[in-house]
Amino acid sequence: MVKVITYGTFDTFHYGHFFLLERAKALGTHLSVCISTDEFNLREKGKSAKLNFVDRLRIIKNINFVDEVYAEKSWDQKIEDVVKLNINVFAIGEDWAGKFDFLKKYCDVVYLPRTKDVSSTLIRGY
């Protein structure tokens, strides 16, 4: 089994998110998705999602190629998650390019292309 993990808010779930998750899954055979909690978004990212954590989680856990879902509660949990879950590949959109290179000590780190012209910010309108 090749285990992949990715992180994000996934507010107003859109096709850019779906394509990102598909590409992440294609890097291995098992995909874990860590979804930012409402508290983490407000406290650390200064943003308020339109859909609450429970609704965002409900959408993602019903995607049939997503194998596990978890809560992202802090910036610092990634090393622990990767080690504890025996992750082989950390994948995330290229808007984060370089930001998670510190994980290369523990697993492969892949920055995937984003889908053009769609984002939660555009859909929310704030």
117 vs 105: CA distance, rounded Å: 34
- Rg, the chain, Cα only: 14
Quick one: 21 or 88, whose CB is closer to ligand CTP?
21
The site map against ligand CTP for 22-61 (x = CB under 6 A) is ----------------------------------------
Structure tokens at 73: 């509660």
Task: By CB under 6 A, name the one of 17, 25, 30, 78 that touches ligand CTP.
Answer: 17
The dihedrals phi and psi of 4, each to the nearest 5 degrees, come to -115, 145
45 is catalytic: yes
50 vs 12: CA distance, rounded Å: 7
The site map against ligand CTP for 60-99 (x = CB under 6 A) is --------------------------------xx-x----
Residue type, 89: V
Helices (H), the chain: 15-26, 38-40, 53-61, 77-84, 120-124
**Could you say which of 3, 45, 84, 104 is catalytic?**
45
Quick one: 59 or 85, whose CB is closer to ligand CTP?
59
What residues line the site for ligand CTP (CB under 6 A)?
Answer: 8-10, 16-17, 20, 92-93, 95, 114-115, 118-121
